[in-house]
Amino acid sequence: MQYNNIKIEKRVQIDLYKRMLKSRMIEEKMLILLRQGKISKWFSGIGQEAIAVGVASAMLPEEYILPMHRNLGVFVTRNIPLYRLFSQWQGKANGFTNGRDRSFHFGTQDFNIVGMISHLGPQLGVADGIALANVLKKQKHVTAVFSGEGGTSEGDFHEALNVAAVWNLPVLFCIENNGYGLSTPTSEQYKCEHIADKGKGYGMESYIIDGNNILEVYAKMDELCKKIRKKPAPVLLEFKTFRMRGHEEASGTKYVPEKLMSAWGEKDPISNYEKFLVKEGMLTEDIISVTKKEITTEINDNLKLAFDEDDIVLIQSKELNDVFVKHDYQEFKHGDTVENIRLVDAISKGLKQSMEKHDNLVIMGQDIAGYGGVFKITDGFVDAFGKERVRNTPICESAIVSAAMGLSINGMKAVMEMQFADFASTGFNPIVNYLAKSHYRWGEKADVVIRMPCGGGVGAGPFHSQTNEAWFTKSPGLKVIYPAFPYDAKGLLATAINDPNPILFFEHKGLYRSIYQDVPTDYYTLPLGKASLLKEGDDITVVSYGVGVHWALETLNKHSSIKADLIDLRTLMPLDTEAIYTSVKKTGKLIILQEDSLFGGIASDISALVMENCFEHLDAPVKRVASLETPIPFAKNLEDNYLPKERFEQVILDLLSY
Ligand SMILES: Cc1ncc(C[n+]2csc(CCOP(=O)(O)OP(=O)(O)O)c2C)c(N)n1
């Protein structure tokens, strides 16, 4: 048959019916199990099946789909064995997350599906990254990502559509407008008439589609997929539909007017399509009944498998080990040739060598291309590697962190330059929830390094001076590197880029152009989790990192009578606790100096660890020296007072005489 000039073969028409029917029947079964207390929560897509099935059916199996919580039809269309879905929903090992995440919160590379995180919006930017990888690999694939209309109010929606438009990415943004976001009606969610109207603002094509008409959904998707595979560009699709059940089963639908519900009930996508196929002579009552029996058997057989499966076994070491991808550090040694360069040069040269080493490495950041970045780290990179791999981004940290995740999912490596570490706050959600948790949740790595120019003492005020490493060391799943010297910075950056785990790489702006060192010209790596002992002495242990190391050196050089071990941590996660304990056991006294404000910082944890592990070796209380508990002030005398540099001298002298 032809639908809107698109030919839809008979086999496809029947498949569309069977896939929708299977989705519906699985859901109906789940609602029964929910009432029996056999599963814990259910987000229903009843009435919306045509969208997930229609979109997924128009795509190639090798093309990525990023579904939401009402898109069971995507999983059914991709033929995921049902027992695996059922095990997933019961938190069992045959699911996709080893019992670590629930419902549709999982992805699977075997089926090219990337499931949601609860925060909804970041999915949209991840789709951008996946699509970008396809473009860079010259793979003519589309990527489809779902959101509800509620999710379009998140900043991530704006950011992701804007990036996709500016970069001409072949992404189908599929918005299921089902009338309500939890209890909030569309009139309280957005002001324009149609969400599709927003497409014009982003400079992209957009369409309104009857989401309850499977033929319309499939035909339009088929047309668009074919078109944007040839000529990459994003498209915004608004599927008009309705949520026929509560947000999740427990929350009900009392706030939905009955008339609205019954009007949409008339538009049920499955029963209407079934009638149509019967009328067309493609289905008979007999075929329907046989199909339903087959699906019932498949559901029951697979449910039995899932119910018979044992509960997940807790193995604590596995829980801990699965937070990161297992990665064996590979040492690259350097020769004897060195050059005396600044921290900023060491980072730039290290990054350049990694770009040469890894063809699949892409750098993204604001003003990093022709302009070379605000600190000029990527100066000349466009000439060397081209604009495809050295990408200026719009001002949208959240979408770019998410896109970096998408690049990683689709086989690339990403380095993102935060223009200033302070602005990680606007990309915070995908860092701590997407990058950090993906491997633990569904075994997917996040091969991403985020470079973080940070730190005070440069008269830059509260929003360009923070050193916010503790925001990230608190989140399991992230590694955090914080070098103080050019040699360490170059080697650790190379290691960070080789490591497929998500890494925050802190670079102190105050040290960029003030610290010189002889740095090997070769490419080389340094291991993570190894502190360096800069000075040795028996009186006291001084632990620091970043600019604090230089403050400590200054003080110790001034008081040459102090015999101290000075430990530069170099990496905060993993933390070299052994180096700290060994030294404290020798000296009996510990002072920790950090640039960050005191409460909740790295120093507090080191202090606690030493109390717990070295208590009987201590001859004095552990001392922490840090910045004041205020935002960072601008005026020089206020900032000098805020920073702990001056206070450190007195505290170490007091501790020595304790
Ligand atoms: C950032 C964030 N805020 C709030 C929520 C809670 N929440 C989960 S789903 C949802 C409604 C989503 O509505 P919509 O995007 O329209 O999708 P629908 O559920 O209607 O399919 C809300 C408010 C959340 N998960 N994440």
Amino acid symbol at 405: M
Neighbours of 246 (CB within 10 A): 19
The pLDDT-based confidence of 269 (bands split at 50, 70, 90) is very high
- Nearest ligand 1 atom, CA 148: 15
Structure tokens at 350: 């290290």
Q: Is 181 in the pocket of ligand 1 (CB under 6 A)?
A: yes
Mutate to test the pocket of ligand 1, among 119, 182, 184 (most ligand atoms within 8 A of CB): 182
Quickly state the pLDDT bin for 38 (edges 50, 70, 90). confident
Query: Cβ distance 70 to 181 under 8 Å?
Result: no
pLDDT in tens, 353-404: 999 999 999 999 999 999 999 999 999 999 999 999 999 999 999 999 999 9
Structure confidence by residue, pLDDT tens digits, 204-237: 999 999 999 999 999 999 999 999 999 999 999 9
SS3 letters for 176-218? EECCEECCEEHHHCCCCCCHHHHHHHHCCEEEEEECCCHHHHH
User: Considering only CA atoms, which residue is closest to atom 21 of ligand 1?
Assistant: 148
Ligand 1: which residue has its CA nearest to atom 12? 181
- DSSP class of residue 109 equals G
Residue nearest to atom 20 of ligand 1 (CA): 181
Return the higher-pLDDT residue of 452 and 2: 452
For residue 88, pLDDT over 90 is answered with: yes
Ligand 1 atom 5: the closest Cα is on which residue? 119
pLDDT at 426 over 90: yes
The pLDDT-based confidence of 642 (bands split at 50, 70, 90) is very high
Count of CB atoms situated within 10 Å of the CB of 512: 22
Rg of the chain, C-alpha, whole Å: 28
State residue 218 phi and psi, 5-degree precision.
-65, -45
Give the helix/strand (H/E) hosting 597. strand 590-597
Distances (CA, A) of 457 to 207, 632, 642: 52, 9, 9
What pLDDT score does 436 carry? 98
The yes-or-no verdict on residue 615 having pLDDT over 90 is yes
Question: Is the pLDDT reported for residue 337 higher than 90?
Answer: yes
Check 69, 439, 464, 550 and give the catalytic one. 464
Residue 151 Cβ inside 6 Å of ligand 1? The answer reads yes
Distance 178 CA to ligand 1 centre (A): 12
Cross-strand pairs, 2: 7
Q: Average pLDDT of 267-296?
A: 98
Query: Rounded to whole angstroms, how far apart are CA atoms 180 and 148?
Result: 9
CA–centroid distance, 153 to ligand 1, in Å, is 10
- The CB of 251 under 6 Å from ligand 1? The reply is no
Q: Rounded to the nearest 5°, which phi and psi values hold at 565?
A: -80, 125
Buried b / exposed e over 382-416, threshold 16 CB at 10 Å, is beebeeebbbbbeebbbbbbbbbbbbbbbebbbbb
- The protein residue with its alpha carbon nearest to ligand 1, atom 24, reads 119
Ligand 1 contacts CB of residue 321 (under 6 A):
no
State the Cα–Cα distance between residues 157 and 143, nearest whole angstrom. Answer: 16
Q: How far away, in angstroms, is 150 Cα from ligand 1 center?
A: 6
Q: Which of 120, 159, 190 to mutate to test the pocket of ligand 1 (most atoms within 8 A of CB)?
A: 120
Tens-place pLDDT, residues 480-519: 999 999 999 999 999 999 999 999 999 999 999 999 999 9
Residue ID of nearest Cα to ligand 1 atom 13: 181
Q: Is 464 noted as a catalytic residue in this protein?
A: yes
Q: Which atom of ligand 1 is nearest to the CA of 429?
A: 1
**Is the dihedral angle over the CA atoms 118, 208, 404, 106 positive or is it negative?**
positive
Q: How confident is the model at residue 474 (pLDDT cuts 50, 70, 90)?
A: very high
| Closest-lying ligand 1 atom to the alpha carbon of residue 118 | 25
pTM of the model: 0.98
- The pLDDT value recorded for residue 41 is 87
Q: Is the CB of 148 under 6 A from ligand 1?
A: yes
Nearest in space to 592 (alpha carbons), one of 642, 647, 640: 647
Give the Cβ contact number of residue 286 at 10 Å: 8
Q: What's the pLDDT score for residue 39?
A: 87
Between the CA of 151 and the centroid of ligand 1 the distance, in Å, is: 6
CA–CA distance, 284 with 278 (Å, rounded to integer): 6
Question: Looking at ligand 1, which atom is closest to the CA of residue 189?
Answer: 16
Ligand 1 atom at shortest distance from the alpha carbon of 152: 15
- Over the chain, what is the mean pLDDT? 98
Can you read off the two tokens belonging to residue 176?
């299921």
Q: How far is it, in rounded angstroms, from Cα 491 to Cα 247?
A: 50
Q: Taking 90 as the threshold, does the pLDDT of residue 1 lie above it?
A: no
40: pLDDT confidence band, cut at 50, 70 and 90? confident
In three-state secondary structure terms, 252 is coil
Which range, of 39-43, 160-164, 165-169, 345-349, averages the lowest pLDDT? Answer: 39-43
What pLDDT is attached to residue 480?
99
CB 119 less than 6 A from any atom of ligand 1? yes
Which ligand 1 atom sits nearest the alpha carbon of residue 181? 13
**243 in ligand 1 pocket by Cβ < 6 Å?**
yes
Q: Which residue CA neighbors atom 22 of ligand 1 most closely?
A: 182
pLDDT bin (cut points 50, 70, 90) of residue 97 is very high
The pLDDT of residue 34 is: 93
Cα–ligand 1 centroid distance for 121 (angstroms): 9
